[in-house]
A and B are shown apart, each in its own frame.
Chain A
Amino acid sequence: MPSDPPSALPADTPPAVSDPLEARHVLEFPGGYTRSTGPVIGRFLTELRDRRIVGVRTAGARVLVPPLEYDPDTGEAVTGEYVEVGPAGTVQAWAWVSAPRAGHPLDRPFAWATIRMDGADTSLVHAVDAGAAKAMRPGLRVRPRWRERPSGDITDIECFVPEVTMISAPVRAEYRVRPGAALTRFFTKIKDGVLLGGRCAACDQVYVPYRTSCPSCGALIEEEREVADTGTVTTFAINNLPDPRAPEVPFVSAYILLDGTDIPMIALVGGVPAHEVRQGMRVRAVWVPPEERTMPMANIRWFAPTGEPDVDLSADAPGGEA
């Protein structure tokens, strides 16, 4: 099909053989054979040079692409009516070439495919530059990629490429994030190894992390309260789905009701196998040593069991039951 470069191996390549009874032998007609095209193939190649693909109509009104001088089914001469087809076509069948050879039209993996050009009744064979075998399928819509300087040869079509069906739409929003005044206060205390909460005087509820307005009644929270770094696991999930941004699986994300507070915090439970974590388990924050403390919440490595007896949640334990 595609007319190969005159030789896959240039004639001056030294023979890579050491056996004296083995020799390299090249048969190559100098300059290549001169092959006359005849009027039909000649028209096809001339149109290719102008980046058009044409077929020829048979007496039975079929359109042959590539054209022939005769109807291959009946042996009758074709009509002489040329029909422009394509430029798109549909892959009928294909074979994947995972290791292209020197004479192949592409130097990367590609498919040989039979392609039915739009408006044609027969298929031509050409290369499809699809990237990966999984992109190939019968019915794939393809279009020609033309050589920069067409010369009137089937290789004027470098190869076919799939139609555009998807684009990549990069979206990136970059922010500078600063915690607000209340969270800054909370983080400052975290650095000192203290969990800071706030008590809503109207609701008599202690919130942690510290915040300045009550999410329930909207009142200003004016009373800071340092809360314990011990608490009770009210409920939890064992996460088995890996995520590059999360801890290594399996990890336990738990709702922990710190002693003296009224709303559970979500935190990592560690120092215990995931399947030994229980609702009602007593835990204590494991702090990073003061000299290693960096990012606010990272200063608490996780919460680990204290070894105290579990809390009975069937009572009206806050956080678990409403």
Chain B
Amino acid sequence: MGERCAVIGVGQTRYTTKRTDVSIAGLVREAAIRALDDAGLTFADIDAVVVGKAPDLFEGVMMPEAYLADALGAAGKPMMRVHTAGSVGGSTALVGASLIQGGVHDRVLVVAFEKQSESNATWALSTHLPFGASLVVGAGGYFAPHIREYMRRSGAPDHIGALVAVKDRRNALKNPYAHLRIPGIDRAMVESTPMLWEPIRYLETCPSSDGACAIVLASEKAVTGTPAWIHGAAMRSEPLTRAGRETVSPQAGKDCAADVYRQAGVTDPRRDIDVAEVYVPFSWYEPMWLENLGFAPENEGWKLTEAGCTALDGDIPWNASGGVLSSNPIGASGLIRFAEAALQVRGMAGEHQVEGAATALGHAYGGGAQFFAMWIVSNRKP
């Protein structure tokens, strides 16, 4: 793992459908300055800046890291951009952490964003090259068959997805930054919404959000304020087109989890982790990732969801913040998971704080479930 590294500042914007009042630069600055304020620092205290976002086609800004360098106080400093599709927010945090763990820098500002209102993600994800058939429409069209296969294999009852959709949106009501606020949401409401990409219903999908998230990372000697210490950090990827590829519970996700648990000394994630922020953009991915991440045996993740184990008052709360299902500025969504995990162990999650949370998992996945990024943070120094 190298040098010790901690999250000492977190900044988020209020996620919403359209932030027409700010430019992209204004949006990322809002998050960055809040993270610096949280750490009691200014741009002058930062050694390097790492930026993450989803494909350039989303905003049509080519190489946004070049445009945003001075907006993020990076003039004269190292600046880089990370890109691993939907998992990018998580990967960006891990690249930032590696600069400290490797002993290169003492303080790194990590920023991720998406301003989805500037175009349309489904359009940007479905460019339909010539010669092929145009069949997959957006992320939902891609993931729906894998959810169907999970349902078949596990024999999970049809309503499990709706339970997750309700739970995460109820959690969102406790998070002042969350995008979707649906007071009174219940299973009947979710089940009354139309199937977009069957078996995915409208209220079982994430929203399109504008927003940015930033964190300040510090080496041990540069820590200010309340640290969330990184105990494990791992990324994995796998090829999308490989014969026999396991698409319901990808091997890369299992390998990534095994690596991060080994580093953090986690042997039983359900027991050893107090709260998890996991990338669940479609409700059924909660039970699927419960299994992939080893919180439940194969084909039994849905039983934890059904029993309320992942609720805010359950034994292993998942997505206390409301998760991706409630806020989805795509490029930032992974970093928000990582940042919320840090907020929980810093005791700074406000109304959605899980009492006594000492160890938290941040998780992100991207592409066709082919990129994974995870970290484990704790209030204890490793």
Contact = CB atoms under 8 A, between A and B. Distances in A.
A240 B197 contact: yes
B133 interface: yes
Given A216-B239, A245-B126, A183 B136 contact: no
Given A165-B20, A322-B244, A253 B152 contact: no
Nearest to B146: A235
Contacts of B134: 243, 245-247
Given A215-B242, A322-B244, A237 B133 contact: no
A144 to B, nearest CB: 23
B135 A267 contact: yes
Contacts of A215: 239, 241-242
Nearest to A166: B20
Nearest to B137: A243
A240 B198 contact: yes
Contact of B241 (A206, A246, A263): A263
A245 B20 contact: no
Interface string B136-163: 1110110011101100110000000000
Contact of A237 (B20, B198, B242, B243): B198
B244 A205 contact: yes
Nearest to B194: A240
Given A237-B141, A238-B195, A254-B145, A266 B129 contact: no
Given A235-B149, A279-B149, A320-B149, A297 B132 contact: yes
Contact of B131 (A179, A234, A236, A254): A179
Nearest to B129: A177
Contacts of A318: 243-244
B183 interface: no
B140 A241 contact: yes
A245 B128 contact: yes
B102 to A, nearest CB: 29
B196 A241 contact: yes
Contacts of B196: 240-241
Contacts of B241: 207, 215, 263
Nearest to B142: A237
A254 B136 CA distance: 10
Interface in B305-325: none
B2 interface: no
A245 B195 CA distance: 20
Contacts of B126: 243, 245-246
B245 interface: yes
A3 to B, nearest CB: 37
Contacts of B184: none
Given A253-B135, A279-B148, A313-B152, A237 B128 contact: no
A279 B146 CA distance: 12
Interface in A212-254: 215-216, 234-241, 243, 245-247, 250-251, 253-254
Interface string A242-277: 010111001101110000001100111000001000
A99 interface: no
A319 B131 CA distance: 24
A236 B148 contact: yes
A171 interface: yes
A295 B133 CA distance: 10
B246 interface: yes
A78 B185 CA distance: 59
A295 B239 CA distance: 28
Given A206-B243, A238-B198, A268-B135, 20 more contacts: A166-B20, A169-B60, A200-B243, A215-B239, A216-B243, A235-B149, A235-B152, A238-B197, A239-B144, A245-B126, A245-B134, A246-B135, A262-B244, A266-B136, A267-B133, A268-B133, A279-B148, A297-B131, A297-B133, A300-B133
13 contacts: A165-B20, A171-B60, A206-B243, A215-B242, A235-B145, A237-B197, A238-B198, A240-B196, A243-B126, A246-B137, A262-B244, A267-B135, A295-B131
Top 7 nearest A-B pairs (CB, nearest first) are A237-B144, A322-B246, A238-B198, A262-B243, A205-B243, A171-B60, A235-B145
Interface of B: 20-21, 60, 122, 126, 128-138, 140-141, 144-146, 148-149, 152-153, 194-200, 239, 241-246, 251
Interface of A: 165-166, 169, 171, 177, 179, 183, 187, 200, 203, 205-207, 215-216, 234-241, 243, 245-247, 250-251, 253-255, 262-263, 266-268, 274, 279, 295-298, 300, 313, 318-322
